[in-house]
Amino acid sequence: MTLDISSAPIASDTTDHAPPPERRPAFSTADLSASAVVFLIAVPFSLGIALATGAPLTSGLIAAAVGGIVVGLLGGTPLQVSGPSAALTVITAGLIAQYGWQATCAITVAAGLLQLLLGARRVARTALAVSPAIVHGMLAGVGLAIAIAQLHVVLGGSPQSSALANLLALPGQLAGPHPAALTVGALSAAVLCGWPRLGRLPGRAGRLGALLARVPGPLVAVALATGLAMALHLQLARVELPTWQLHGLPVLPHSPLAGVLTAVLTVTAVASVESLLSAVAVDRLARRSGDLDRELRGQGIANVLSGLLGGLPVAGGAVRSSANVRAGAQTRWSSVLHGVWVLLAAVALSGGLRRIPLAALAALVLVVGLQMVSFAHIRNVHRHREFPVYLATMLGVVLLGVLLGIALGSAVAVLLALYRLTRTHVDVRAEPDGSFAVQTHGPLTFAAVPRLSRALSAIPATARVTVCHDGSFLDHAAYETLHAWRASHQAAGGQVAMVTERQASEVLDPDGTLRAGSSPGPHRCRAWTPWVGHHCIEQQEDPHGRLLDGVRVFQQHTAPLVRPELARLAREGQTPSQLFLTCADSRLVTSMITNSGPGDLFTVRNVGNLVPAPFEPGAADDSVAAAVQYAVEALEVRSITICGHSGCGAMKALLDGVHEHPGPPTPLARWLRNGRGSLDRLKRAPARFAARPTVDLVEQLCITNVVQQLDQLLANPAVERRVAEGTLRLVGMYFDFATAQTYVLDRESGSFTAVSVQDTPEGEDTKVAA
């Protein structure tokens, strides 16, 4: 199991609206088939979890039924499927061994009540603040502990009371395995591992395998193992389902209160974190958003009922939930129906369930436990330099238990954070002109003062020095050290400039005084945000002066970063893959909305993003046609995008009839005549959005103009030829300033669809479709 850590009327020049929420049906026929798929996974999985905890096997079915029905109806993530949790297996097994089964049910009820309280207090989001390294380390440790315990059952023995005891007893168990149990367990494990890979076989076998792989692997594995055991009359321990009877009420543990409270908090924390992380992953997979506080309350009610009825603790599960989404579920009724099918199976199919060998269920849980050690998570944690936390948590859970393992991982995380807080690099570099550059990396705290003092004292007394801090934390001790050294160095005849990589003189010179060598001009913006309206400075009367200030900031901060790439482009020439034709509006920053850089886009801008049609009387213009021809024939771009935007002044002018005013036409009026085709299209076939209405007539003309200009672009012979050859793609795009939302034209439906961050794999940049 893996967890992945998803309008009001306004003025015509803005579009401060949000797309209306997508309406989903109350029930879909796809929910019926999806519920059957999840049911076939849930039954063997629930029996296996119950077996691994040492609880009555019916408790797993009760938890699956309650989790499916109750959380399905009341939870905040409609497509999440809840039931007995593999992550709680070790904890539940320990509680049963220490307090007994009925007391464990009481702890489950108390944990559910605490979840209800937390959900009512709307603190669900705080559970996601736990370090992913600790969460995934805990899951990996639990998975290893489960796998080690169930290996004993596969070998024909019985698991011990702890993971450490299981490890110590494993050599003896390996020396004398039970052949029949080992055969059944090995068959189940082989089917579980190989079944999803049937579709990868070559040729017709692969196509047949893909069809067979639609049947859930756990069901096939248990069915084949049971059939083999019955056919060969193997003497094996089998599922022992007690007769259904009224469950005794949960009994409070006769133990110290502190230990019981610790148990309740542990079950609450693990069940809540797993459920919420799974809910986030499911919402991301299904491309929708849920209510985490409602989900937590639903989980709490399910745990209360499950404990009262004699079931295992309930939590949301990524395995069942992802299977539900991939099976095509549309509403919460898929989860509810799955719970109904589990309940009916527990009552009507108890005779068939009693024939399942325990070794088959143990193999199922063993494989699930090993899958909880996700190499993808290990690589991700290692990439973020959190592997020590992951490893400490995993080993702590295996050797010490879940609670102590989490505490150990948290302690390592704190120590690692403190280590990074005190880890500072001070580099001194002599420049060719005789000056010195001091570069500091990392937080400058009192712990770094000795290292900083040694580096500064080695600089000649009369040298010109630039001290550049990376912009991270600077405490009072380091601040005093820097300024005391500067005062003494300047008194000896030296020159000192103190700057930061992100802000010029703001941290090191709180009074705002500019020093020699610091950033010229009044800018105090971060290097990557000088375009944000320059709200941090007073507007200058001389726009040219402000422009030069921006150029100086570029030369200081950005030029050193992009110089190698620009030098490469200077040597090799431009090879853009796309022609981007858009409006000259100053609010539209093409590189920002397309996440592009130097050499990516061949850009043409004009008033109204217009493409003059060939042979248009009185509106001929060769500049756009020349750019298009150069891009298509010389640069051989593979796509051309025409991008309109909200509140376009050219479209307002067209609606006002500026191009038809009497008298000699102005240059603007002659140019706007290239938009007459858009006005005609607006009357006969206006463009539209797929998921929302247009705000006003101006916006409707803006998107209609994009469609019309694409048609006029296709009239260019060079474009027409490349499109016919299939080597050039035409893309229509619209950008709404008020919501910072981009829309792309779907040529089949003729409507504009919003670009979503889930349209590309997580972590990848979204660029213009090409």
Question: What does pTM read for this prediction?
Answer: 0.53
Q: Which amino acid is at 558?
A: T
Q: Is 499 helix (H, G, I), strand (E, B) or coil?
A: strand
What is the residue-wise DSSP string for 587-598? T--HHHHTT--T
Residue 586, Cα to own-chain centre: how many angstroms? 33
Pair of tokens at residue 388: 């020590």
Angle, to 10 degrees, between the axis of helix 132-154 and the axis of helix 358-371?
Answer: 160
pLDDT on residue 322: 74
Residue 343, Cα to own-chain centre: how many angstroms? 35
Query: Cα separation of 221 and 224, whole Å?
Result: 5
Q: Which amino acid is at 705?
A: N
pLDDT on residue 700: 93
What is the residue-wise DSSP string for 655-674? HHTGGG-SSSPPHHHHHHGG
Query: Cα separation of 433 and 428, whole Å?
Result: 15
pLDDT on residue 163: 77
Q: Quick check: 613 and 653 in contact, CB under 8 A?
A: no
- 255-to-75, 259, 307, 366, 717 alpha-carbon distances in Å: 33, 7, 19, 32, 87
Residues 6+ apart with CB under 8 A from 357: 181, 184, 225, 226, 229, 234, 236, 237, 238, 239
Angle, to 10 degrees, between the axis of helix 132-154 and the axis of helix 29-53?
Answer: 70
pLDDT on residue 524: 41
pLDDT on residue 549: 76
- Element housing 137 (H / E): helix 132-154
Q: Quick check: 345 and 203 in contact, CB under 8 A?
A: no
Residues 6+ apart with CB under 8 A from 235: 180
pLDDT on residue 715: 86
What percent helix, strand, coil does the chain show, rounded to 5?
55, 10, 35
Residue 752: closest CA among 741, 761, 767, 762: 741
pLDDT on residue 501: 58
Pair of tokens at residue 116: 């209800």
In sequence order, the β-bridge partners of residue 741 are 736
Angle, to 10 degrees, between the axis of helix 29-53 and the axis of helix 318-326?
Answer: 160
Buried-exposed string 684-705: b where 16+ CB fall within 10 A, e elsewhere: eebbebeebebbbebbbbbbbb
Low-confidence ranges of the chain (pLDDT < 70): 1-27, 127-129, 161, 239-248, 285, 319, 471-472, 500-545, 614-620, 757-770
Query: Cα separation of 766 and 510, whole Å?
Result: 39
Query: Cα separation of 78 and 291, whole Å?
Result: 9
pLDDT tens by residue, 283-322:
776 777 788 899 999 999 999 999 999 999 999 877 678 7
Q: How many residues does the chain have?
A: 770
Pair of tokens at residue 673: 């005549």
515 dihedral zone (left: phi>0; alpha: psi -120 to 50; beta): beta
